Amino acid sequence: MACPFFRPVQRLDGGGWDPAPRLTLFDAWSGVCTAAYDWTPPEATQREVCNCGYARGSCGRFPAGEAADAVRFSLLRERLIYVLEKDHAPIEHGEIDPVTDPREPLASQARAFLESWRSLLPRTVS
């Protein structure tokens, strides 16, 4: 799960994780924290917190009183579905078009999810 305030910008390499955790966006992404104002956290924070969600209480930038703790995505018959979670339970879900949806950083997370997912697909040889 990713933090709802994290706007992914670029895929990171595998880093030192062994084994790598299951991440909402498949890969770890570097990006920007949009809580309050845009800020680029240190890479370790991005890997361990921003990409993993549930930062309430462990990240000083996580705003008090915000509803969602984390975001996850799934593909359902070619529809991209997002789920906002709080206390490990869904509080909002729906379909998202990563190209036209105006909600940021949710739309950027959706695009990152798709890019990482597509990179896992077997390449066809022509």
Q: Which of 28, 27, 26, 73 is nearest to 49 (CA)?
A: 28
Among 23, 25, 28, 59, binds ligand SF4 (CB under 6 A): 59
Among 1, 25, 50, 68, binds ligand SF4 (CB under 6 A): 50
Residues 6 or more apart whose Cβ sits within 8 Å of residue 70:
1, 2, 3, 4, 24, 53, 54, 84, 85
Q: Contact between 26 and ligand SF4 (CB under 6 A)?
A: no
Q: Contact between 82 and ligand SF4 (CB under 6 A)?
A: no
Around Cβ 126, how many Cβ atoms within 10 Å? Answer: 3
Q: Contact between 35 and ligand SF4 (CB under 6 A)?
A: yes
Closer Cβ to ligand SF4, 49 or 110, answer by number: 49
Q: Contact between 84 and ligand SF4 (CB under 6 A)?
A: no
Q: Contact between 55 and ligand SF4 (CB under 6 A)?
A: yes
Is the N-terminal amide bond of 4 cis, ω within 30° of 0? no
- Tell me which amino acid residue 6 is: F
Backbone φ, ψ for residue 81 (5° rounding): -110, 135
C-beta of 126: minimal distance to ligand SF4 in Å? Answer: 40
Q: Contact between 41 and ligand SF4 (CB under 6 A)?
A: yes
Around Cβ 69, how many Cβ atoms within 10 Å? Answer: 21
Which residues of the chain form contacts with ligand SF4 (CB under 6 A)? 3, 5-6, 33, 35, 41, 45, 49-50, 55, 59, 61-62
